[in-house]
Structure 1
C-alpha cells in the first residue's frame, strides 16, 4: 500500500509542476537520446528515461542441472523533474519478468552546488557497486560479495556532500518498501566516505563504508508472541538467468548487524583497477553465538579503444567510457559465508570472470562475459565447478 502512496505523491509533484507551465512556453529537446521539456526561463525541467537489457546464458560442466536460456533482465521507465533549480524528483519503475518493481523514487532538495538531501526509496550508500547504476557496472552481474552483503534499496533519507577530492554520504533508513510483515521493522544508519588522492591525469581513490541495522520483525506466533528474528546473506553464482543461490547463510535469533566495506579505485590512461572488501557481523541473542562472514573482489579494466578512464567525484567512481569504446575486463571474487565457530556453514564461492564490452554509442552497448565458478562442500549441491558464457544487448536513454 505504501508503495502506491509513494508513487502517487511523486507523480503529483511532477505533474503539478508540469501543468503549472503554459504549454506554448515549454521548450523541447533530446539530450543523449532522452526527451526533455523545459520552461523558457529554465526554472522547470521534465524528462523521460528508460532501459532494456536482453540477456542470454549457457552453462557448462555443471553438476547441478543449470538452466541455460535468455531473459529480459531489466525494463524500466523513468520520470525526472527539476523545479526552481532547488528541487528534484525521480520515479524509476521496473517491469522485468512481467512484474512491477519500484526502484529509485525520491524527492531531493539541493542545498548548494555540491550538496543535497533526499528522501524516498533509495540505495543505501555502501561501497561502489551497491550504489552504481546497472547501466554502468562493468560485468553483467555484480560481484558475489556485493550481492551477498549489499543493503539494497530502502525507505529513508540521506545527505550527500562532495568537494574537489572528497565524497561523503550518510543516511537513516527503514525497511524494504515491499515489507509487509507484522511487527517493528528494522532501521539502519549507513554512510560512505571516499577520498580521491589523485583524480586528473592519474586516478587513485580510497573509501570506506559502514552500516548498522537492527533486524526486521519476523511476525507473530499464534499465541501472540514475537517470532525469532533472522538475518540472511546469500548470492547467485555470477549470473541472473540461473536464479538459485548457491551460497546461503540464514542467522536465526538475530538482533542486529554491522557491515564494513573498504574500496579502492586506481587508473592511469586506458588501465584501471577496482576492488572492494566487505565483512558482516551479526549480534545474536544466544551467548557466544555471533556470526561473521566476509568477501572481496578485484577487477582489472583495459580500454582497447576509446581513450582514457575518467573519474566523477560527484558519485566517487569511474565515469562511463566514451561511445565507440571497447573494454576488456578481468574479475576475481571470493565470498565466504562459513562460520564453523557456531555451526552456520553458508558456503564459499570463488569465481573468475572475463569480459568484453563494446559501447556502440551513448545509448547502446553489448557485453560478453565468461565465468568459472568454484563452490565448496557447503554450497547448494556441495562441491562443484562449472563455467558459463553470458551476453547482453543493452539500450538505455
Structure 2
C-alpha cells in the first residue's frame, strides 16, 4: 500500500467537515387546516453521527532477539468517519490511519427490509465465524487470536445479507478479493489481471440468549478463487498468501508466513461455540482450510483453534447482542478477567509448505470506564516453530491499551 501525505490530510478534513454539517430543522410550507386540504406530514430528516476509534498501546517484551522487540508505545489505529440513517437506508464511511498509512476501513450502504432482514453493499467486514463479527480493535483479548488473523480476511468489497431472528442468525455474502480495494485492474507494473471472488455464510443457532444465560453454536463456510500474485511476467493470479505477526500492535514482527502457488480454489470452514452462565462465558472456534492446486500438486491444508474464558469480576451478568450474535459490551464500571489459548498450524509436510506453527496463551483484565472508553492490560507467552531456516522462537509481552470507540 502506498503512503499518503497531503491526500490523507484532505480525507480526514473532509470527514471532519461532513460530521459537522448536520441538517438544520426542516421547513414545512404553510397550509390551511380545512376539511378540503389536509396538513402534510413533515419530511423525515436524515440523521448523521460521527464514528471513530483511537488506540493507545504500550508494551514491554521479553525475547532472545531484543533488537527486534524493543519496548515502546504506539498509536496503532486511528479512525474517523460518519454514519447516516434516512428511513430504511443507512450508510457509513470511515477511514483509518495506522503506521504512517491511510486506508478506507468501511464504506457501505444498507437497506433495511424489516427489523430482522437487511442488505449491505460496499467495503465491509464479511462475517466468517464468531470473531469476525467485530473489528480487531474490539477483541476482549486485546489482540485478536492469531488463527482469526490467518484464516480470515480484512474488509472486503461485496454484498452481504443479514437475517437476525429470535432463535437463529444468518449471513450470506458474495465478495471480491482483498486486493480489489488497493490495486488497480490492468496490466501495469503492479496491476491486477483479474479479480478473485468468493462466497461465504455464517449460520448460528441461539436457543438461549437471555441475561446471564446464553448458548449458541454455529458454523461458517467460505469458497475463494485465487488472488493477486505478482510474478516475473506480472500478475499470474494463481496463489494465496498468509501472514501473521507476533501478538502485538507496538512491534510488527512476522511470526507465520506461507505462500501457496498453482492454486485452483480455497475452501474453509469454522464451527463456533459460545456459552454463558451469569458472569462467566466461553468463546471458541476451530478453523480448517484446504487449497486445491493445479498440475497434480497435493492440496495444502491448515488448521487452528482458540478458546477464551472470560468473567466479570465487577458488573453483574453478561448481556447478549442480537445484531452481532454474541456477547454485548459490558456496562460502565465493569471489571473483566480474560484467559485465552490459541493454536495455529500453517505447515503441511504433504504439500511441502512450511509456514510455521504457533502456540499462544494470554491472561488479561479489562476495565470499562464507560460505553466509549476501555482500559486493557494483557500478559502473553508465544512459541513459534516449524519454520525452515528459522529456529524456534519464544516471545513474552506485557501490554497495555487505552481505547476510545464511538
Shorter-chain TM-score range: 0.7 to 0.9
CA distance in 1, matches of 2:218, 2:159: 21
CA distance in 2, matches of 1:379, 1:300: 34
CA distance in 2, matches of 1:302, 1:189: 35
For residue 189 of structure 1, the aligned residue among 199, 202, 210 is 199
For residue 348 of structure 1, the aligned residue among 345, 351, 357 is 357
For residue 58 of structure 1, the aligned residue among 57, 60, 68 is 60
Residue 244 (structure 1) aligned with residue 231 (structure 2): no
Query: Structure 2 matches for 1:1-397, cutoff 5 A?
Result: 23-25=24-26, 43-63=45-65, 65-83=68-86, 85-176=87-178, 177-180=181-184, 181-201=191-211, 202-219=213-230, 221-222=232-233, 227=236, 229-378=238-387, 381-397=390-406
CA distance in 2, matches of 1:386, 1:239: 10
Taking structure 2 as the reference length, the TM-score comes to: 0.85
Deviations 1:205-250 (A, max 9, x none): 101111101012435754x8x6362111221222222212211111
Measure how far apart 1:380 and its partner are. Answer: 7.6
Deviations 1:120-170 (A, max 9, x none): 001111012222134531022100100011022111111111111111001
Runs of 4+, deviation exceeding 6 Å: none
Q: Residue 4 of structure 2 corresponds to which residue in structure 1?
A: none
CA contact 2:264–2:291 (8 Å) conserved in 1: yes
Task: Tell me the secondary structure at the aligned position of residue 59 of structure 1.
Answer: strand
CA contact 2:310–2:336 (8 Å) conserved in 1: yes
Task: Tell me the secondary structure at the aligned position of residue 67 of structure 1.
Answer: coil
Task: Tell me the secondary structure at the aligned position of residue 99 of structure 2.
Answer: helix
Measure how far apart 1:102 and its partner are. Answer: 0.6
When Rg is computed on C-alpha atoms for both structures, the one with the higher figure is 2
Q: 1:324 to 1:182 in 2, by over 3 A?
A: same
Taking structure 1 as the reference length, the TM-score comes to: 0.87
Q: 1:369 to 1:121 in 2, by over 3 A?
A: same
Task: Tell me the secondary structure at the aligned position of residue 148 of structure 2.
Answer: helix
Question: Unaligned regions of 5+ residues in structure 2, if any?
Answer: 1-6, 28-40, 185-190
Q: 1:218 to 1:249 in 2, by over 3 A?
A: closer
CA contact 2:270–2:288 (8 Å) conserved in 1: yes
CA distance in 2, matches of 1:300, 1:380: 36
Question: Unaligned regions of 5+ residues in structure 1, if any?
Answer: 27-38
Q: CA RMSD in A?
A: 2.5
Task: Tell me the secondary structure at the aligned position of residue 254 of structure 2.
Answer: coil
Task: Tell me the secondary structure at the aligned position of residue 100 of structure 1.
Answer: strand
Of 111-120 and 231-240, more deviation after overlay is shown by 231-240
